[in-house]
Structure 1
Amino acid sequence: MTRTVLAIGAHIGDMDLTAGPTLAKLVLEGANATIIALTPGERGHPRLTPSEYKKQKIAEGEAFATAIGADFIVLDHSDGFLPDTDDVALELATIIREKQPDTLITHWKHSIHRDHEHAARLSERARFLAGLPTEGLGTLDDHPRHSVRTFLHAENWEDMEGFQPTMYVPIPDEAFYRWVSAIRHQAFARGETYGFRYIDYYTALMTTRGCLAGYPRACAFHSNPTPEVTKLAGP
């Protein structure tokens, strides 16, 4: 059976950086992957206006997803003002029912960025709503209810309060280089917005986690230890 994975980030680029290498690996193994950004991340450029950067971010997110073989969805919520409401959770739950993922990846629940914390809570709420019997909830009723078996929190330098890895996913060379080739086309990842060297940081982090896990490279996630999680990690 083909695995289906949904990665939900607060902004375009969040899941590209943190879950991107794992998504590239899973796609190479035959999985279907979708990246969802709850906001474009349009307020993250010191020189471009939000409307200008929104267009750039959407183009970069689409290009990244295409390069690793994933689908891409961006919702039209406002960067820095992502609401933690049932309306947004229902939007996500509808996508979960449509895509029928067996694995969901999102932010850790504690962060220096409120949008990230909201994304984590919204993802958990959406997972719950997608599995409920529903009636009279609009587009949610258009698809059969669905239970997501595996729920993972990706490692993000902004979301480290209380984060403890419970699993490591080995990242083979082909997936790593596919990720590098894709992520380097995002301006913020190259350090062109506020100077943080995201690509260098996450490349070094994969090496560090690989040392701990016994692989050349690995990505760390937090989840309850279940048989499905073990399968995701793989040999």
Structure 2
Amino acid sequence: MAERVAEVIREVAPQSVVTHWRRSGHPDHRNTAQLAERARTMAHPDLPLFHAENREDAEGFTPDRYLPVSEKYIDYYTELMTKHGRASGSERACALAVP
């Protein structure tokens, strides 16, 4: 699997890789972080890799970089949550799907 992800990294040529915190409380998040780290190393060891904050990943997570979030991003998600809220009878809501 790491080789497949490494192929995507080579093909897309991103400026960086962002993944889950490696010490997340969620096993899928930990596995994703390990996979991303391995694939990045295989594809381009010097490519910057960042672990993103997540409320369930807070233990041991100490940010050392901050990236600005554009108004467009905030506006998009605020509008989306407001739309879902109207559909659910609340002010704002997240939409979920059961597999």
* TM band (smaller chain): 0.7 to 0.9
Q: How does 1:111-190 map to 2 (within 5 A)?
A: 111-131=24-44, 147=45, 149-182=47-80, 190=94
More strand as a share of residues: 1
The residue matched to 1:168 in structure 2 has which SS? coil
Note the aligned Cα RMSD (angstroms).
Answer: 2.4
In structure 2, distance between residues paired with 1:122 and 1:164: 21
2:88 is matched with none
For the structure 1 residues 91 and 181, does the alpha-carbon distance in structure 2 shift closer, same or farther, using more than 3 Å as the test?
farther
For the structure 1 residues 111 and 128, does the alpha-carbon distance in structure 2 shift closer, same or farther, using more than 3 Å as the test?
same
For the structure 1 residues 192 and 99, does the alpha-carbon distance in structure 2 shift closer, same or farther, using more than 3 Å as the test?
closer
Structure 1 stretches of 4+ with a deviation exceeding 3 A read 179-185
In structure 2, distance between residues paired with 1:179 and 1:191: 12
**Which of 21, 34, 44 is equivalent to 1:108?**
21
Alpha-carbon displacement from aligned partner over 1:133-188 (angstroms, at most 9, x marks no partner): xxxxxxxxxxxxxx553211110012112100101112232221123345666xxx
For the structure 1 residues 161 and 94, does the alpha-carbon distance in structure 2 shift closer, same or farther, using more than 3 Å as the test?
same
Give the partner amino acid of 1:89.
Answer: A
In structure 2, distance between residues paired with 1:127 and 1:190: 31
Q: TM-score, normalised to structure 1's length?
A: 0.34
For the structure 1 residues 92 and 182, does the alpha-carbon distance in structure 2 shift closer, same or farther, using more than 3 Å as the test?
farther
More helix as a share of residues: 2
Asked whether the equivalents of residues 112 and 159 of structure 1 are also in contact (C-alpha less than 8 Å), the reply is yes
The residue matched to 2:56 in structure 1 has which SS? coil
In structure 2, distance between residues paired with 1:93 and 1:179: 30
Q: TM-score, normalised to structure 2's length?
A: 0.74
Asked whether the equivalents of residues 110 and 117 of structure 1 are also in contact (C-alpha less than 8 Å), the reply is yes
In structure 1, distance between residues paired with 2:68 and 2:34: 27
In structure 1, distance between residues paired with 2:80 and 2:46: 28
Give the partner amino acid of 2:94.
Answer: R
1:91 is matched with 4
The residue matched to 2:14 in structure 1 has which SS? coil
